[in-house]
A and B are shown apart, each in its own frame.
Chain A
Amino acid sequence: SQTIHQWPATLVQPVGSPLSLECTVEGTSNPNLYWYRQAAGRGLQLLFYSVGIGQISSEVPQNLSASRPQDRQFILSSKKLLLSDSGFYLCAWSSVGLRNNQPQHFGDGTRLSIL
């Protein structure tokens, strides 16, 4: 069966420090991968998605970046964190399907607090 791992679960970082969040998927190949951010009590904001190795689509201009160095690995990074980067970060995967009909499967998220 497929599983998705996301770490760390919680992270406290000072303003201006770098960031690296990692997400890996097991049990499937060539998944679509997604990074979302969720503010408290709000919906999900899509940050990046990837349909293949090295292919990254950015949804929102910001100081974050994403990379996909391997088929089932998706990394969210920042060189210098801002206070506004605080939030709950979720990674998700889906199978590739016709007409985008595939459900997404989520990790348990990383709660990032910037001090």
Chain B
Amino acid sequence: SQQGEEDPQALSIQEGENATMNCSYKTSINNLQWYRQNSGRGLVHLILIRSNEREKHSGRLRVTLDTSKKSSSLLITASRAADTASYFCATDAPGAQKLVFGQGTRLTINP
């Protein structure tokens, strides 16, 4: 079964607005990662947050992690048309060298 589940499945906003995507997971984790995928391309790693961290920033990206609620959020501030893509969260599987990906959020930024 999927470890991470993103919400919403699709999000459409106007350029300049902020976009927030959420991820929930089921079991304990060592870290949670967010990836971006442009249409027809491979995934690109955006940010990794460890289980002992609560918030992390990278440019216009802000990720939070609440291990008590088993959830994370990705905030993209001041969105741009180029941010249009699918965004996936991924959690590590305890004891294994692999990640489990969610189904993704399709983000559309309207100019």
Interface residues of chain A, those whose CB is within 8 Å of chain B, are 6, 32, 34, 36, 41-44, 46, 49, 51, 57, 59, 88, 90, 92, 94, 96, 99-101, 103-109, 111
Q: By the criterion CB–CB under 8 Å, are A43 and B97 in contact?
A: no
* Of B13-21, B58-66, B74-82, B99-107, the one with at least 4 CB within 8 A of chain A: B99-107
Chain B residues whose C-beta falls within 8 Å of the C-beta of A51 in the assembled complex: 97
Taking a contact as CB atoms under 8 Å apart, the answer to whether A43 and B98 are in contact is no
Residue pair B97, A100 in contact (C-beta under 8 Å) = yes
- Which residues of B sit under 8 angstroms from A44, Cβ to Cβ? 43, 88, 101
Q: Can you name 20 A-B pairs with beta carbons within 8 Å?
A: A34-B98, A42-B103, A43-B101, A43-B102, A43-B104, A46-B98, A46-B99, A46-B100, A59-B98, A90-B42, A94-B97, A100-B30, A100-B31, A100-B92, A100-B99, A103-B45, A104-B99, A106-B42, A108-B41, A111-B40
Interface assignment of B56: CB less than 8 Å from any CB of chain A: no
B33 interfacial contact with A, CB 8 Å:
yes
Contacts of B35 in A (CB 8 A): 104
Taking the closest CB of chain B, its distance from the CB of A26, in whole angstroms, is 16
CB distance from B46 to the nearest CB of A (A): 9
Contacts of B94 in A (CB 8 A): 100
Which bracket fits the contact residues of B?
Answer: 20 to 34
A4 to B90, CA, bound (A): 20
**Counting CB contacts under 8 A, is B70 at the interface?**
no
Q: Kindly state the separation between the CA atoms of A34 and B99 in the bound complex, as whole angstroms.
A: 10
> Within 8 Å CB of A92, what residues of B?
42-43
A101/B48 contact (C-beta < 8 A), A43-B88, A90-B42, A109-B41 known: yes
Given A42-B103, A43-B102, A100-B30, A109 contacting B45 (CB threshold 8 A): no
> CB-nearest residue of chain A relative to B2?
A43
| Residue pair A103, B33 in contact (C-beta under 8 Å) | yes
- Contact between B42 and A109, CB atoms less than 8 A apart: yes
